[in-house]
Amino acid sequence: MLAVENLEVVYDDVILVLRGVSLNVPAGQIVTLLGANGSGKTTLLRALSGLLDMHDAELTRGSIALNGQGTADLSPDEIVRRGVVQVLEGRRVFSELTVEENLRLGGYTRSRHVKDGLAEAYDLFPVLADRRRSTAGYLSGGCPYGLRQAAAGADRSS
Ligand SMILES: Nc1ncnc2c1ncn2[C@@H]1O[C@H](COP(=O)(O)OP(=O)(O)O)[C@@H](O)[C@H]1O
Ligand SMILES: [Mg+2]
């Protein structure tokens, strides 16, 4: 369960971008966030992933909790290890690596269980199993999108 409460985010100490943002993502459910360009969707995702610092932004109010534990003191990699993973928009894969190498990178944080991660990914996206040794940059159609999603899914610590 992800709980966001009354979030306020400021860029460059002065630009107030998020104010009073609250939402819950219960376990096993899908929550969609809609908004016009510039309304702050990306900023919220940066806050969830602990990436505000690197964009000169700051959480000035509110809290984010993952399964009851606040994330304010967690580094981005610790947040990933707790299961918050972003699937980037577009066809962003490591294009010079093979499908399987991409999946192994996606599963980096659970490297001891990488075989399970690969099996799950191939189970969900059988076409990726057929193409496991193909160079990811040459994938066509929906394959790169599936690969990104599978690689993000492989990145779970449990
Ligand atoms: N690095 C930044 N520095 C200053 N302002 C920013 C920065 N990034 C985004 N913003 C501003 O924050 C607002 C929300 O942007 P963003 O979170 O990218 O919205 P969305 O993803 O919904 O299009 C916009 O007004 C944008 O100009
Ligand atoms: Mg955006």
Q: 158 falls in which pLDDT band (50, 70, 90)?
A: very low
User: Is the pLDDT assigned to residue 90 strictly greater than 80?
Assistant: no
Q: Please give the distance, rounded to the nearest whole angstrom, from the Cα atom of residue 127 to the centre of ligand 2.
A: 30
Q: Find tokens 């806050």 and name the residue.
A: 47
Which ligand places an atom closest to the C-alpha of 33? 1
Total domain count, the chain: 2
Looking at residue 76, which CATH number applies to its domain? 3.40.50.300
**Does ligand 1 have an atom closer than 6 angstroms to the CB of 38?**
yes
Residue 69 has phi, psi (to 5 degrees) of: -110, 130
pLDDT in tens, 105-155: 888 777 677 788 888 889 988 999 999 999 998 888 888 888 888 888 766
Query: 14 C-alpha to center of ligand 2: Å?
Result: 20
The chain-wide mean pLDDT, for the chain, equals 90
In a domain, 86, yes or no: no
Let me know: does 103 contact 147? Beta carbons within 8 Å. yes
Is the CB of residue 108 less than 8 Å from the CB of residue 154? no
Cβ–ligand 1 contact at 39 (below 6 Å): yes
65-74: pLDDT as tens digits: 999 999 999 9
pLDDT level of residue 53 (50, 70, 90 thresholds)? very high
Of residues 3 and 93, the one with the higher pLDDT is 3
Residues of the domain holding 136 = 99-153
Domain co-membership, 55 together with 6 = yes
> Quick check: 80 and 109 in contact, CB under 8 A?
yes
Does 12 score more than 50 pLDDT? yes
**E-strand stretches of the chain:** 2-11, 15-25, 57-66, 69-70
CA distance 102 to 123: 16
Pocket test for ligand 1, best of 41, 43, 56 (most atoms within 8 A of CB): 43
Identify the domain boundary among 22, 55, 81: 81
Q: Are residues 44 and 13 in the same domain?
A: yes
Q: Ligand 1: does its nearest atom lie under 6 Å from the Cβ of 102?
A: no
How many of the other CB atoms lie within 10 Å of CB of 130?
Answer: 12
What is the pTM for the complete model shown?
Answer: 0.85
Residue written as token pair 């999108």: 145
Any domain includes 89 = no
Question: Which tokens sit at 47?
Answer: 């806050």
Q: Is the pLDDT of residue 80 over 50?
A: yes
The neighbouring-strand residues paired with 3 are 24, 65
Residue 157's pLDDT is what? Answer: 47
Task: Specify the 3-state DSSP secondary structure of 117.
Answer: helix
Locate 30 and state its tokens. 């899908």
Write the pLDDT tens digit of every residue in 106-120.
887 776 777 888 888
Ligand nearest to the CA of 48: 1
- The β-bridge relationship of strands 15-25 and 69-70 is unpaired
Residues 73 and 26 in one domain: yes
- Of 25, 51, 81, the domain-final residue: 81
Q: What is the pLDDT of residue 154?
A: 67
Q: Which of 81, 113, 134 is the last residue of a domain?
A: 81
